[in-house]
Structure 1
Amino acid sequence: MSDFIENIEGGPVRSAAAYRKQDIRAREAGRNAIGELRPGAAYVDGGREEDGTSCVDALGFDKGEVTRHQPSYKWGLSYSSKADYLADLGKLRSAWELRGWKTHDIPPAESKNPERPLPAWPGIRTTDDHGIVIRIAIHWYTGDPTLWADAGCIRYDRDEKVTARKRLGAASGKRPGREGTLTYDDGVQVSMGPVQSITPTSDMTRGAPPAAHTYRLIVTVTNRSGAPVELDSFDLGGYGRGTPRVELLNGYPVGLNGDSEGEVASGTSRRLEFVFAAPAKLSSLNLEYGPGSLHGSYLWLLSVP
């Protein structure tokens, strides 16, 4: 009975960390399938997120921090002939069957616009060991050969975030350090420090009188996870704990890479500048930080010059 109710609600509630893992697996499954095709078949370097309308909580089952999302990605493909396309289908079929995955045939898509007929090319699909559905077929709207990797609709609790597997230096939360590094289970790494005592410019304070003491902190987020890390919803709390009142200046953090996108792509790093003001000299800067909405926040104790 409980399984029946769970299915009605949209499936079990997983952790945000488990959702993150499936998201990474979906992207990886698509990239691996692209790697089985002839060089240059995919004209889009990275998979684009597929818009989905079925993964919604229409009946209001998700409460509190429970939400749902469907990690689904597509890659546009290009072939000079049907023969080349079918040859790649054969290569994929063989690769999947070697892994023990059952392959299903997809009939040619029906054209919904008589004035724009679709190529009568078949497709194939499979499900990998992690439940990711991979398929290659003709897109029903564009008529282009397309590869999809879909992890399905996942319900998850945003409070159960990706945790850290290693905390060094100031990230250990035990004693103040000049700098530190924290590595999450999915390969995302955060580095901080050293704290710099600075004289703020009028641009930093936006014309307001400066505080007695101002401190600059560089945070570097390095992403080796296989999926982007968004930074717009970073968690920064607890700064000033056990010290005089500390404030984060308006307009901060700011990116130092010259880009405006609020995320760190996989395989890249992003440096962020934080500027804090305090009415009295700090003995240490104590703060909690977590990048994005899926990674946990941890206490950092940074020594101050």
Structure 2
Amino acid sequence: MKTFRLFFLLFLALFLNADEFIDKNYSLACTIHSFDKVQQNKIKSSVYKVETLLAEVLRNELEVNIEFFDSEDEMLKSYIEYKRFNNAVFYLNYYLKNRKIIDKYTKEYFAFSSKDKFHSYVLLANNESKIKSIKDIKNKVYVNFLGDDNLHTWLDYKSLEKFKKPYKSLVKEQVNVKKASRAILNLYFNKADFTVVKKNVFDNMVKLNPALKKRLNIIDESKKIFLYGVGAFHKDTPNEVTEKFFKYTENLKIMKKLEYIYRLLDQSSLERITKEEMKDMVNFFEEYEYLKKRYNVN
């Protein structure tokens, strides 16, 4: 939840702090329905505080519209209609499932990145679990990070590829956690047998605590083809808006002011991305959908 809130606050900072570059009619939409009511209220409260503060700094010269949706389907419907906002941020799994309709109405894409534009996932196991490969996950305890649906999509893909069955039918138990760091620590303290996280998340935790490598092993690693989410500008958005957006995000002097947020997000930049660059990611998802259909998995 903290990561998502920071992710969204960065968007606000980008556009509310851009008196020179960003069109005053910029509007953004996102969903927070996956969080409980308490968490939703915390996110909204944080967002509005930042909005008010930056509006005062800018003397209300900019008009920025922010809209929260209770469902991704509702947000997509409004995105297509182009009546309430010109930009939406989709979680990766939702984009992949609905990419044909989203692509039809989109002119530009962007995504946050760290050292590289794309990242990989790793299957981590603690040494006591005796897991040496994907074939050993049977009757083991899996700890699942709720903040990124695509992590268990990759795990499911590996399971279907190896066993012709979804991973949930194989594991002894699935434990859900709200932080990727908690998933890793659960392994470290033998509260679970294995997990899937972004490789850079594990690498950063190892830098802070090298002892993790003594108890945990990387069993498998995906290709470096994944994003956290996909930002999309509607095809009817004026070119001036999109070009100013990317010009602003490339301004290193201004972006340095937001460096602390990037560090908290474990990201380093926001970049334009093309459909061609996302091709490997889309191909992976199509293969996953094919395996589900082949083995009658809903």
TM-score bracket, normalised by the shorter chain, equals: under 0.3
Give the TM-score taking structure 2 as reference length: 0.26
Query: Which is helix-richer, 1 or 2?
Result: 2
Q: Which has the higher contact order (CA 8 A, sep 6+)?
A: 2
Larger Rg: 1
Higher fraction of strand: 1
TM-score by length of 1: 0.25
